A and B are shown apart, each in its own frame.
Chain A
Amino acid sequence: MFRFRFLAPLLICSTFLASCGGGSGTDSASTESMSGAAQLGRLIFEDPYLSASNTMSCATCHDASIGHAWPDANAAVASGGPGLNVKGLRTPPAINYLKFNGAFKFDTDGTPRGGFFWDGRVNTLAEQAKGPFLGPAEMANADASAVIAKLRNRDYAEQFKQVFGANIFNDPNAAFERVAYALERYQIEDKDFAPFNSKFDAVNQGKEAFTPEELRGLVLFNRVDKGNCAACHPSTKPDNAPAALFTDFSYDSLGVPRNLDIPNNAVATYYDKGLCGPERQDLATRTDLCGAFKVPSLRNVAKRKRFFHNGKFTTLEEVVDFYVTRDTDSTRWYKNILGLFDFLYNDLPSDERQNVNVTEGPYNRSGQEPALSVDERRDLIAFLKTLSDR
Chain B
Amino acid sequence: MKFKTTLVAAAVMLICQVGHAQTAKEVAAEMRQMREDLRQLRAELDGLKKQKNQEPSAAPVVAAQVPSQSSTEASAPVKAASNPSYANTSPSREAEPVANAVNLFGYGELNFSRLKNSIASSEATARRAVLGFGYKFNDRTRFAAELEVEHAVVSRNDDGEVAFEQLYVEHDISDGLSAKMGLFLLPVGYMNESHEPTRYYGVTRNLVETAIIPSTWREIGVGFRGLQDSGLRWDAGVVTSFDLTKWPTDSAETKESPLGSIHQEGQKAKAASLGYYGALNFDGVPGVNFGGSLFHGGVGQKQTVVASTGAQMPSPDASVTLAELHTKWQVGAWDLSALAAQGWFHDVSAFNAATSSNGFNNPVPNQFRGWYAQAAYRLWRSGDYSLVPFTRYEHVNTAVSYSGVFPGQVVSTGPDTKVWTVGASYYLHPQVVVKMDIQKYQNNSDLDRFNMGIGFHY
Contacts and interface: CB of A to CB of B under 8 A. Distances in A.
Tell me, yes or no, whether A binds B.
Answer: yes
A389 B423 CA distance: 41
The 3 A-B residue pairs with the shortest CB-CB distance, nearest first, are A25-B117, A124-B359, A163-B408
B188 interface: no
22 contacts: A5-B382, A9-B434, A12-B424, A12-B436, A17-B450, A21-B116, A23-B114, A23-B119, A25-B118, A26-B117, A37-B409, A103-B249, A103-B359, A123-B309, A126-B359, A163-B407, A164-B406, A165-B406, A178-B406, A181-B408, A188-B361, A240-B250
A contact face: mostly helix, strand, loop, or mixed: helix
Interface string B335-377: 0000000000000000000001111010000000000000000
Contacts of A204: 120
A106 interface: no
Interface residues of B, number: 37
**A: contact size bracket:** 35 or more
A36 interface: yes
Contact of A20 (B357, B359, B438): B438
Interface string A180-205: 01000100110000000000000010
B114 A20 contact: yes
Contacts, number: 88
Contacts of B118: 25
Contacts of B438: 16, 19-20
A190 B144 CA distance: 53
A23 B114 CA distance: 8
B96 interface: no
A123 B450 contact: no
Contacts of A19: 438
B385 interface: yes
Contacts of B450: 16-17, 20, 23
Nearest to B411: A35
A102 B359 CA distance: 9
Interface in A3-29: 5, 8-9, 12-13, 16-17, 19-21, 23, 25-26, 28
A13 B358 contact: no
Given A20-B114, A123-B309, 9 more contacts: A5-B382, A9-B426, A16-B437, A20-B450, A23-B116, A23-B117, A23-B450, A124-B357, A124-B359
Given A5-B382, A9-B426, A102-B249, A25 B119 contact: yes
A348 interface: no
A23 to B, nearest CB: 5
B452 to A, nearest CB: 7
B234 to A, nearest CB: 41
Interface string A147-175: 00000000000000001110010000000
A165 B408 contact: yes
A219 B407 CA distance: 50
A21 B448 CA distance: 12
Given A20-B450, A37-B410, A124 B358 contact: yes
Contacts of A374: none
B120 to A, nearest CB: 7
B445 interface: yes
Nearest to B117: A25
B112 to A, nearest CB: 10
A177 B358 CA distance: 11
Interface string B407-437: 1111000000000000110100000001011
Contacts of B446: 28
A181 B117 contact: no
A268 interface: no
Contact of A8 (B114, B119, B361, B387): B387
A13 B120 contact: no
Contacts of B116: 20-21, 23, 25
A123 B308 CA distance: 11
A338 interface: no
A38 interface: yes
Interface in A81-131: 102-103, 108-109, 123-124, 126-127
B87 to A, nearest CB: 36
Contacts of A38: 410
A1 interface: yes
A376 B437 CA distance: 48
A361 to B, nearest CB: 20
Contacts of A13: 436, 452
B93 interface: no
A204 B434 CA distance: 33
B249 A1 contact: no
Given A16-B438, A25-B119, A28-B446, A165 B407 contact: yes
- Give the residue among A13, A25, A178, A240 with the most B Cβ atoms within 10 A: A25
A185 B407 contact: no
B2 interface: no
A123 B426 CA distance: 51
- Give the residue among B117, B408, B445, B450 with the most A Cβ atoms within 10 A: B408
B268 interface: no
Contacts of B117: 23, 25-26, 28
A185 B114 contact: no
Interface string B436-456: 111000000110001010000
Contacts of A109: 156
Interface in B113-130: 114-120, 122
A35 B445 contact: no
Contacts of B34: none
B252 interface: yes
A13 B451 CA distance: 10
A123 B119 contact: no
A259 to B, nearest CB: 32
A163 B118 CA distance: 36
Contacts of B410: 35, 37-38, 185, 189
Contact of B408 (A37, A108, A124, A189): A37
Contacts of A181: 356-357, 408-409
Interface in B209-256: 249-250, 252
Interface in B65-122: 114-120, 122
Nearest to A109: B156
Contacts of A168: 407
A103 B436 contact: no
